[in-house]
Amino acid sequence: MAEKTNASYLESLNPPQYEAVVNTEGPTMIIAGAGSGKTRVLTYRIAHLMHAHNVDPFHIMALTFTNKASREMRERIESVVGTDARNLWMGTFHAVFARILRAEATHLGYTSQFTIYDTDDAKSLIKTIVKELNLDDKLYKANVVYNRISAAKNRLVSWQEYTTNPVYMEDDTTNMRPEMGRLYRIYSQRCFKANAMDFDDLLFNTNVLFQTHPDVLNKYQHRFHYLLIDEFQDTNISQYMIARKLAAVRQNICVVGDDAQSIYAFRGADIQNILNFERDYPELSTIKLEQNYRSTQTIVKAANSIILKNKAQLKKSVWTANEDGELIELIKATSDNEEGKLVASSIFEMKMQQHLGNGEFAILYRTNSQSRAMEEALRRMNIKYRVVGGVSFYQRKEIKDLIAYVRFVLNHEDETSLRRIINQPKRGIGPGTIEKLVVAANEQDKSLWDILQHASDVTGGRGGHQVEEFATLIKSFKLAVEKKDAFEAVSQIAKNSGLLKELYEDKTVEGLNRYENVQELLNAIKEFTENPEREDKSLSAFLQDVALLTDEDRSNDTEEAVTLMTVHMAKGLEFPYVYIVGMEEELFPSQMMLGSREDLEEERRLFYVAITRAKKKLHLTYALNRYRFGRLKICEPSRFLKEVDPAFIQMNSRHSNYEAQTRPGIPARSSTPDSSYAKNFVKNNRINPASRSIVPPKHTPSTGFKASDTSQLVSGMRVEHEKFGFGTVGQIDGTGPNRKAKVLFEKAGEKTLLLAFAKLRIM
């Protein structure tokens, strides 16, 4: 195909990027190192297909892992080729294949109005089944069962295969959960009966559709001439099998990714997809993007020194023409609380000295629980922050309640939504009445909705009448949905269901917030229906968008604030100044990931991802001791710290050269003696060898010990406790009898004491 000229977008590309954009035919793998302009290349490649080769956008499918990524790419493409970019089949795997499944649902026995269960909905159904089967809910926790079923589906193992496979059965029996296969079967059957699919079903059922209906597969193979996949290293078996089937005719499949950033094995991602891609496509063209445009040379070289330790990888040499930049600072703290204080102090100082904004900083950690100490320290210094990964707007109870009403109005077979709303707000329909209706539905082999409409025949009395009134209410909502636009229909549901009235009458701060949240949901629906770029403005389309939101899409807080998040959440983001905290053995790398080389290499890739989020300056921190699971434990610096080339690290000036002496090659910035606390802690405490927890020695009170009046106690004072010994007062909270203080004791670690009862001598 002859290329058009006037492709000014090509002028900004370096040679490998240019090659990746213009060589559009045949199987292609683009290995994109961190910060190498991956999104730009993928965007321009699609734009080039449309601009230079006149490819119809309806013939291009581009798959991403977040709606945010697909939105940004579509906007960039539109800036090159115009509004025709809106016709691309672009979106997340789940969104794109949900679209196909809605069109082809009848082939699998579903209707096009099938409900999409999010994780909470799925777990709620599992809890119901566990209860019905009288199984131990502590042994068969909803989260455990859900993850087991999810893992099976991602490996394309159906419940029929699972329940007849002796390996799975033996594994479940060994783990004391012999009913797992039965739960998988009943869960799948109940979803089907409810005309519902969970997230994993959207991929699993697409595979089933293409496998069992070759005519449908053939239609989509010839519809999509080009298939492009972003973040290919994060794909699972189910996703890759769909991609291979779709690309089988024309072989125009382009995958973009970085094996060094494959960090989602716990979600089912299979790094072998990218490592073995050439085996599946012998005619493959491989292009490496190795120039990093994001980070300083120090950060890039330090990251390279880490990832080189992995054996399973595609070799590349990432480099940058950016400035050398500052060395990576290693910060040692005596405790997790001190770690928080040191990080907050460092951020405060950098802000003041360099006139920086809060939004330029990020604190990354391995587990969400580590945010507590960071949050407390930032609050003390009045530094605004936001925690990414908390309860999202669409997961709040009042929002879930209203959405459940809408889902059930659209899909009367959705039993999970029905159970949620039938007595919400309270209308006198108790659990006993509901169970009678469920039993009747099972005995008569009817849907629960059929039984609801004639509930008096089953339960009699007031309960049956209340249920029939509820059924009548749902019918009125159904008429509203059919006759009104989405906003007006949901407004009527919110009002006539009683949800809005109940929230409005709750005059507490929490009640007001919940009422405002429902109003915000109505605003979102209004915005959805008035968006001129949307073809499908139906309630079904809105519900699908909500169900398929990813974690990254749920965070829309644009306030200037320090960002706190796990490393997994940080993938794909970048910040000028980054702090990676908790760099300790059994924390990072995680204790759960030390059992095999594969797991350890995934943790190392996770550390690589963390390092490469930083643009200008990186800090690594660790603590000598930390509270874990309610016990104070001595900590060992992470092995990853020793794997970073020491030429790129220096100790923080607040700390001694003591640690530098244990890590040859790391220059200390200060010769200040090590803190007496750190020395005394190691010297005076003994360690329980079984738990590695710290056992402080008994304290002998000073002669003539007499407790002081603590009403005048302030932060920074030195005190003595009869049992815990000497310490320094930290944060003080509360008033009167509820006044309490955090005290960092030299031998017993940090304690929170209620001052009305604690006997402290002010020194």
Which value, to the nearest 10 degrees, does the dihedral of the CA atoms of residues 40, 44, 46, 47 take? 140
User: Does residue 618 contact residue 575 with C-beta atoms inside 8 Å?
Assistant: no
Which of 231, 336, 339, 413 is the catalytic position? 231
Per the DSSP assignment, residues forming a β-bridge with 28 are 254, 285
Which of 17, 24, 28, 38 is the catalytic position? 38
Which of 613, 633, 742, 761 is the catalytic position? 613
Distances (CA, A) of 617 to 161, 185, 351, 657: 52, 52, 13, 21
Residues in CB range of 422: below 8 A, 6 or more apart? 429, 434, 467, 470
Q: Which of 236, 134, 144 is nearest to 184 (CA)?
A: 144
User: Does residue 116 contact residue 102 with C-beta atoms inside 8 Å?
Assistant: no
Query: How is the chain split among helix, strand and coil, in percent rounded to 5?
Result: 50, 15, 35
Q: How far apart are CA 394 and CA 68, in angstroms?
A: 17
263-279: b (≥16 Cβ within 10 Å) or e: bbbeebbbbebbeebee
39 is catalytic: yes
Distances (CA, A) of 464 to 404, 445, 460, 469, 532: 22, 19, 5, 9, 45
Q: How far apart are CA 306 and CA 619, in angstroms?
A: 16
Q: What is the DSSP letter of 529?
A: H
User: Does residue 303 contact residue 340 with C-beta atoms inside 8 Å?
Assistant: no
Q: How far apart are CA 570 and CA 749, in angstroms?
A: 32
Which of 118, 172, 200, 230 is the catalytic position? 230
Q: Which of 260, 320, 227 is nearest to 31 (CA)?
A: 260
Per the DSSP assignment, residues forming a β-bridge with 719 are 727, 762
230 is catalytic: yes
Which of 17, 113, 235, 261 is the catalytic position? 261
The encoded tokens of residue 712 equal 């005048």
The encoded tokens of residue 160 equal 């029929």
613 is catalytic: yes
The encoded tokens of residue 164 equal 């007849």
Q: Are strands 740-745 and 725-733 parallel, antiparallel or unpaired?
A: antiparallel
Per the DSSP assignment, residues forming a β-bridge with 687 are 694
Find the helix or strand (DSSP H, E) in which 596 lies.
none
Find the helix or strand (DSSP H, E) in which 610 lies.
helix 597-611
Which of 39, 550, 650, 731 is the catalytic position? 39
Q: Which residue type is seen at 319?
A: W
Q: Which of 291, 292, 306, 260 is nearest to 649 (CA)?
A: 306
Q: Is the dihedral of CA 139, 140, 146, 149 positive or negative?
A: positive
Q: CA angle 689-693-695, nearest 5°?
A: 90
Burial class (CB in 10 A: 0-12, 13-18, 19+), 456: middle
38 is catalytic: yes
Per the DSSP assignment, residues forming a β-bridge with 718 are 728
3-state secondary structure 100-147: HHHHHHHHHCCCCCCEEECHHHHHHHHHHHHHHCCCCCCCCCHHHHHH
Find the helix or strand (DSSP H, E) in which 307 lies.
helix 297-307
544 is catalytic: no
User: Does residue 582 contact residue 370 with C-beta atoms inside 8 Å?
Assistant: yes
Q: Are strands 740-745 and 749-754 parallel, antiparallel or unpaired?
A: antiparallel
Other Cβ atoms within 10 Å of 531 Cβ, number? 10
Q: Which residue type is seen at 267?
A: R
Which residues belong to the active site? 38-39, 230-231, 261, 613
